[in-house]
Structure 1
Amino acid sequence: MSLKLTVGDLTIHRIIEQETTFLPALDLLPALTPDLLAENRPWMREAGAIDAEDVLILCFQSYVVKTPHHTILVDSCIGNDKPRPLRPKWNMKTDDTFMRGLAAAGFSVRDIDFVMCTHLHVDHVGWNTRLENGRWVPTFPNARYVFGKREFDYWAEQHSKTPVPPFGDSVLPVVEAKRAEIVRDDYAIGDHARILPTPGHTPGHVAFTFGRGKDAAVFSGDLMHSPLQTRYPELSAKFDVDQVQAATTRRNFMERFCDTDTLCCTAHFPSPSTGRIRRKGDGFSCEAV
């Protein structure tokens, strides 16, 4: 399986940290019924999106996008040395999988010009920082880190009431190191990278579109976790802050990119994780490329 794609003048590399079972489908997607699951189980199994016990299989990954001008990391995955007691597979991790993946794609941490975060959940900011002499420091020393203002403000307010560990160890140290760009929705990087607001999973969740003059690729973040949500956009995840808004945003996103040449790069679909949105009945599918 190739982890490298080319679309237009972009080169896209997948950096996989984990691809593993996550939660039972009926747990992650509260509106999913046993009958609907049974109806879709065959193709989900064939796609490697669900195991024999009906537990969803998710990929946890970053993307490195090489434009003619910049090298951009989209989301920074889980990270090492971080206390995540609620997620044993992520808790105080010490493996070199992510860094080996980055090196295999031909990059060092110094090569990254921008880190763009779709939102500030634990598995999207982890490698923003690394532990050095007991302190959290930016992993990518030459990068500007792009955080959406609505998203940043939401988590800053939550953190001021009750500590939010990933905000404390993976976001604030970047701000303190003066490497952060806290931006509004009209922010762009050159003529290749733009923000597309996609609220619902979190209040300030965004997708990123890339391409000169058109959307050659879109990075959807946690707009959807499983291919089942393309078939049935109304199925929101239990982690969505506003499940109704998330469902509306997801359908609007599908309609926008349906039957276009835009490559959709998902955060969590099982490998190959990328595809083009096509209409399928009243829903959609992400046809692998």
Structure 2
Amino acid sequence: MTAWPIGSTVVHKVLEAEVRASLTTALRTEDTALLKRYPWPAPDFSRADGTFVISVHALVVDTGARRILVDTCVGNSRPSVPMLRMLDTTWLDDLAALGYPAESIDTVVCTHLHFDHIGWNTRLVEGEWVPTFPRARHLVTRTEWNHWAGEAGAEAGLRDTMWPLVDAGLVDLVETDHRVCEGVRLEAAPGHTPGQVAVVVESGEERAVITGDLVHHPVQFIEPDLPGMADVDAVLAAATRRAFVERYADTGTLVIGTHFPAPTAGLVGRGGNGTVRFVADDRR
């Protein structure tokens, strides 16, 4: 499994699944040659047949004092996507094998409430959905919750993945700039969903940011108007990507893609002519 040291904090990637996606479907473009115009750090970012790999993984942020899980993949959830419905994977065992059994997680950050980010919030045990991380506070932005808690939430399957947590008193509604703990904070990233956040990790002189779904592929840093899958507000999502590049390009900030396949993390920078680039980072 992949890990990145950020000062005295460590960020671990825990993979659940990888799905091959077509460019035209995932980024809603007819430009099939798009990915061929840019060099990518690994073959899975751009394949000859016009596909790339979408990684479904969670990220553990271990500060030494806190064990924070950012998003919880698909798990036992029941989305409308057949190939990702009721998965039976070793993800929870893999998390424990890494040294993070479910009961040791103290915080779960939901970057947003799409099914592939909250699926392991609960488990199906003898026909009942129960919290997977019973000792963790589950952080959801108030804006995100207000958007999904009505009819949209019924469609999204939150009855399985969120309401058991609410019933157990495990959910905290927070603002989009919430400080999780020393060195870990949320940063507003609206557009894909109204209350989506990125997660900023800072320790010593080093900084990383976990993207959430503000991008599905790093080409969206270069061409931010390319919409992502299921963007609620494509115009706002593009503005969020532009602001992200302005904030982090050439700063040495490690960008960890929530859906990027290996190498998963890299640096956003600008070339001599001002064009944006994404370069794989070898800290792992």
Measured after TM superposition, the shift of residue 212 of structure 1 is 4.5
C-alpha RMSD of the superposition: 2.0
Q: Distance in 2 between matches of 1:10 and 1:270?
A: 22
Q: Is 2:70 aligned against 1:83? A: no
Q: TM-score, normalised by structure 1?
A: 0.90
Distance 1:46 1:110 in 2: 35
3-state DSSP class of the match of 2:150? helix
Q: Secondary structure at the match of 1:103?
A: helix
The answer to whether the Cα contact below 8 Å between 2:188 and 2:195 also exists between their aligned partners in 1 is yes
- Contact preservation (8 Å) 2:268, 2:276: no
1:235 is aligned to 2:226: yes
- 2:135 aligns with 142
Q: Which residue of 2 aligns with 1:126?
A: 119
Structure 1 match to 2:172: 181
Change (3 A) 1:255 1:106: same
Q: Which amino acid aligns with 1:59?
A: S
Q: TM-score, normalised by structure 2?
A: 0.91
1:33 has 2:31 as partner: yes
Q: 1:286 to 1:119 in 2, by over 3 A?
A: farther
Contact 1:137/1:177 (<8 A) preserved: no
Counterpart contact for 1:254–1:284, Cα < 8 Å: no
The CA distance in 1 between the partners of 2:276 and 2:157, in whole Å, is 34
CA distance in 1, matches of 2:280, 2:201: 19
**SS of 2:82 mapped into structure 1:** coil
Matching of residue 54 in structure 1 with residue 47 in structure 2: no
State the Cα distance separating 1:204 from its structure 2 match.
0.7
Is there any run of 5+ residues in structure 1 with no aligned partner, and where?
Answer: none
Native 8 Å contact 2:8 2:204 kept in 1: no
Which deviates the most, 64-73 or 44-53?
44-53
Q: Which residue of 1 aligns with 2:249?
A: 258
| Equivalent residue in structure 2 for 1:94, among 75, 88, 95 | 88
**CA deviations over 1:106-130 (Å, ceiling 9, x no partner):** 1100110100011000100000000
Q: CA deviation at 1:64?
A: 0.5
In structure 1, the residue matched to 2:237 is 246
**Secondary structure at the counterpart of residue 211 of structure 1:** strand
Structure 2 vs 1, CA of residues 288 and 45 (structure 1 numbering), >3 Å: closer, same or farther? closer
Give the deviation of 1:32 after TM superposition: 5.0
How far apart are the structure 2 equivalents of 1:214 and 1:164? 43
- Partners of 1:25 and 1:167 lie apart in 2 by 29
Q: Distance in 2 between matches of 1:44 and 1:261?
A: 19
- 1:18–1:120 Cα change, 3 Å: same
CA distance in 1, matches of 2:34, 2:13: 31
C-alpha displacement of 1:88:
2.5
% identical aligned pairs: 36
Whichever residue aligns with residue 99 of structure 1, its letter is L
Deviates more, 1:217-226 or 1:232-241: 232-241
1:68: which partner in 2? 64
What does residue 157 of structure 1 align with?
A: 150
SS across alignment from 2:149: helix
Which sections of structure 2, spanning at least 5 residues, go unmatched? none
Where do 4+ consecutive residues of structure 1 move more than 6 Å? none
Number of residue-to-residue matches in the alignment:
280
User: Kindly tell me: are residues 189 and 238 of structure 1, through their superposed partners in 2, closer, same or farther at Cα, counting changes over 3 Å?
Assistant: closer
Paired letter, 1:6 = P
